[in-house]
Amino acid sequence: MSIATQPAPATHPAAANSRSLESLASRQSIVELGARERAAALLDPGSFRELIDPFERERSPWLAAQGVVTQADDGVVVAKGTIDGQPAVVLAIEGAFQGGSMGEVGGAKIAGALELAAEDNRKGIPTRAVLLLETGGVRLQEANLGLAAIAEIHAAIVDLRRYVPVVGLIAGSVGCFGGMSIAAGLCSYLVVTREARLGLNGPAVIEQEAGIDEYDSRDRPFIWGLTGGEQRFATGLVDAYVEDDVEQVRQTVAALVNGPLPTSPKSDAWQHYLSKLAAYNPSVAIDAAGVRQLYSTPEAS
């Protein structure tokens, strides 16, 4: 399943500009919303119910000892409700807290909610799951505990996607990197906006390891040209490309999460993607057009 915004039909430039301004004014940006507001926006009105909310004070036990201010929900919102009348759980990562990094508590909240959704399905309650991914990956202050939590998330996604679609959304502006980018790749369907970025390593990490001449993390056109949402959709690594508009995102997510399972998970096509990487000559610098050509080249028979 592949979904993209359709271009508007040709019309007079002045009228087109006016309609464009009206359209922009009527939109509500999902990128500008926090994690809790994003989760509420995707669920049916009045159905939002938060589990392990901030009043339960499930904080990270490791951050304070390192002089880092904690957050009462550890940067993860677990919300149950319905999407178009069907049971659903939405797991939203707050990118504004520690860059959306995944620690022991936040990771356990996501993995536990996914495991409960799988149990619901085994009991005949088809609970869908949506992951709102705004994360730099593992929280370095929690090291192996964060990595273990991410591994549990991976296992829970693979288990749940056997029953119902697990939909990931990368809206922006943090992006999705590190081990959580693998979680994104394991989802049944992945939705992105133009502001989204998706990669195993973040730009700053690559620049630190490879040098600024190889990868300049301040070069926004270069970064988005390689790892941005539009590029990821064009190269077939994500399933839907949407505008930064709450209603369009909600409709797209609802269609995917309540639709059929994919014929096979994208992660099962790992040999296809590995062959693409094997065809790339790393001694030659690549640009956005080169990436698209690489992914569009038919495999040798």
DSSP letter string, 89-120: EEEEE-TTSGGG-B-HHHHHHHHHHHHHHHHH
**For a pLDDT cut of 90, what percent of the chain falls above it?**
77
Cα separation, 290 vs 295, in Å, equals 9
Tell me if 23 sits within 8 A of 247, measured CB to CB.
Answer: no
Question: What are the φ/ψ torsions at residue 10 (nearest 5 degrees)?
Answer: -65, 140
The pLDDT of residue 38:
97
What is the chain's alpha carbon radius of gyration, rounded to the nearest angstrom? 20
- Segment 143-198, tens digit of pLDDT: 999 999 999 999 999 999 999 999 999 998 899 999 999 999 999 999 999 999 99
Give 8-32 pLDDT, tens digit per residue. 455 666 666 776 667 666 789 999 9
**Mean pLDDT taken over the chain:** 92
CB 193 within 8 A of CB 170: yes
Q: Tell me what pLDDT residue 286 has.
A: 86
pTM of the model: 0.89
Are 291 and 235 a contacting pair, CB within 8 Å?
yes
User: Domains, the chain, ranges and CATH?
Assistant: 27-263 (3.90.226.10), 269-300 (no CATH)
Q: At what angle do helices 104-122 and 143-160 cross, to 10 degrees?
A: 20
Report yes or no: 84 and 258 within 8 Å, Cβ to Cβ: yes
Q: Are 99 and 174 in contact (CB under 8 A)?
A: yes
Closest CA to 31 of 218, 296, 244: 244
The confidence score (pLDDT) of residue 73 equals 94
Question: Which segments in the chain show pLDDT lower than 50?
Answer: 6-8
